[in-house]
Amino acid sequence: MSLSLIVGGAPVPILGVAALGVAVGYVAGMFGIGGGFLMTPLLVVAFGVPLPIAVGTGLCQMIGTALVSNLRHRKLRQGERRFDALLLPGCLLGVELGARTLSLLTTAGSLSVAGHSLPWVTIIVEGSYVLLLLFVAWNYWRHGQGGKRDVLNELRPGPLSRIRFGPALDLPAIGLRSVSALVIANIGLALGFASGLLGIGGGVALNPVLIYGYGLPIRQAVGTGIVVLFATAVVGTFVHATRGHVHLGVAAVMLVGGAVSAQFGALASRRMSGSTLGRVHALVILLAVAAVLWDLVSELH
Amino acid sequence: MFGLWYPIECVLAPCAIGTVMYLGFELWDRRRRRTRPDNDLPVIDYSI
């Protein structure tokens, strides 16, 4: 009996998917994140899963992890619900636009590079992953330099909170006043688009915006937007599933394996200092970048 | 093209799995706290 799942017409080993889920989950748990932005490109690189299916399946898996996150963070009462409410409409619209863009890109043909043809969808999506992962790695390397973690535990109103454009409102739960509602709504649109196109939870993009753009302390940043991320994953999954871009079996295997191993990773992280964690995190992400670049180069040959 | 039932299933299934996992983690967390009351399980932001 073959222990494989048929994904996009090709067999993908169940044990391999489970191992990927466990490995990424362990690493992600060690750094206090969900790892969705690692799983999606690694599904493509490690198992040759077609990009649109990797994106949709990654979002499906993210529903489970975002739900657990919501339930666990709910008790902590962190974050600002008004921020969530402003992000949500743009996010939902952005997800649909991102999913449509991905579908269009799969029919956009190829670019000829050095005598070989490379599909546009691969160039744009994997190229976006490389840029995004490099940005995340750079941020974690900076955190690993030490001394910055204490600053990130305080509110330091950032540049985005000082933009005066359109209607403004106060965000009392996070201590910000007269924040532009239109700017937040547009951030939601961009976030949703990234989710629909790349299959990421948006947290990897949202948290730097909240921490560096609005100056929120880390704990408030993590608590803000969690509901939106769950909603984005739900809508993104639904939209991608209507196009046949979600493999429920792969998502379920990754979800179970990843969520369990994340707890052990989180416990293991207690033995490491903050600066070491930051640097190890950056190195792990750079390995993922190398894997994606390797895949891009392999497609050329 | 794929009807509505499959997309609904793709949303409900991970919600169900996530809920079961959350309840499992809470049980494990409470048992841990009985033996190590000062050593809380770290909260992970799974949504990233």
- Examine the pLDDT at B7 and tell me if it is beyond 90: yes
Task: Give the pLDDT of residue A178.
Answer: 85
**Alpha carbons within 13 A on the beta-carbon side of A282:** 16
Residue B13 has pLDDT above 90, yes or no: yes
Check CB contact under 8 Å for B18 and A65: yes
Residue B38: pLDDT band with limits 50, 70, 90: low
**pTM (predicted TM-score):** 0.79
> Residues of A numbered 188-217 whose beta carbons fall under 8 angstroms of chain B's beta carbons: which are they?
201-204, 207
The pLDDT of residue A152: 54
pLDDT (tens, 9 = 90+) of chain A, 301 residues, equals: 558 888 877 788 889 999 988 888 887 777 666 677 788 888 888 888 988 899 899 889 888 888 887 777 666 666 677 888 888 899 889 989 998 998 888 888 888 877 778 888 888 888 888 888 888 788 777 765 544 445 556 677 888 888 888 888 888 877 888 889 999 999 999 888 988 888 776 667 787 788 778 888 777 777 777 788 888 889 989 999 998 899 999 999 998 888 888 777 777 766 766 667 677 777 888 888 888 888 778 776 6
pLDDT at B46: 47
What per-residue confidence (pLDDT) applies to A237?
92
Distance from CA of A34 to the nearest CA of B (A): 4
Mean pLDDT of chain B: 76
CB atoms within 10 A of CB A151: 11
Residue B27 touches partner A, C-beta closer than 8 Å: no
A260 burial type by CB count under 10 A (0-12 exposed, 13-18 middle, 19+ buried): middle
**Residue A183 confidence (pLDDT):** 92
A/B interface, count of CB pairs below 8 Å: 137
Nearest CA to A202 out of A219, A227, A220, A238 is that of: A227
* Amino acid A148: pLDDT: 46
Q: Which two tokens stand for residue B48?
A: 């990233």
ipTM of the complex: 0.77
Q: What is the rounded distance in angstroms from the CA atom of residue A173 to the CA atom of residue A171?
A: 6
Does residue A202 contact residue A191 with C-beta atoms inside 8 Å? yes
